[in-house]
Amino acid sequence: MSADLRWTPPEVLDQDGRAYALRHVWCVGRNYAEHAREMGVDPSRSTPVFFSKPAQAVIQSGIVTYPERTEDLHHEVELVVLLARGGRSLAAADWPERIWGYAVGVDLTRRDLQAKFKQAGQPWELSKGFDESAPVGSIVPAERWQPRSDCMIRLSVNGESRQHARLGEMIWSVAELLERLSHEVQLNSGDVVFTGTPAGVASLQRGDRVQAEIEGLPVLEFDVT
């Protein structure tokens, strides 16, 4: 095989500059009650909705390019979990020791395309899995940081607060999400899980500056160009 046909897994870096090779990105929708309500769903009757992004969608950059074919790009700040080991059909108690690290991330969504696809009964993968749609901050190894229920998760745009909640407001905890997901697919080292976003998702414009943070994790900042 010629050198230009070889594929190298994309990587992200932790606080110490160590590389983490990405395998697959999983995301969950409607994991905060208020966000479920703002999307028109009763959280008491909702179950986790999983979808995926390509690993190449994950970037660590101060610049995100506004995607083509959309005029309604939404931000969704999330706690991101990176796995050191995987498994299939494991209980929630088995997952904490399999986590490599944590970061703050933003799930970017082309909301107008998503609505159009949903209305037509078509898959809406292109509204979620486009280039640069999953910016993440620097990763903190699991031995240095663990999510607490009182940790604040926030996102601001041009200094204006848009999203804020506590991690304890998640409907399903990190371990519970991993348990449920592992009953659907085989999880592996290199898998990344975006754990859902709180209420307050809204549009981004070209020229906006986004700041996303979770207490104890490095802040994620980027400009939309």
Euclidean distance between the first and the last CA atom of the chain, given in angstroms as a whole number: 37
Whole-model pTM over 0.85: yes
The CATH code for residues 8-224 is 3.90.850.10
Inform me whether the pLDDT recorded for 2 exceeds 70.
Answer: no
Residue 48 near residue 86, CB atoms below 8 Å: no
5-9, 18-22, 25-29, 64-68 — which is least confidently predicted? 5-9
Chain segment 97-131, per-residue pLDDT in tens: 999 999 999 999 999 999 999 889 998 889 999 99
Chain segment 55-98, per-residue pLDDT in tens: 999 999 999 999 999 999 999 999 999 999 999 999 999 999 99
**Hey, where are the domains in the chain?**
8-224
Please give the Cα distance from 26 to 48 (Å, whole number). 12
Please give the Cα distance from 108 to 98 (Å, whole number). 27
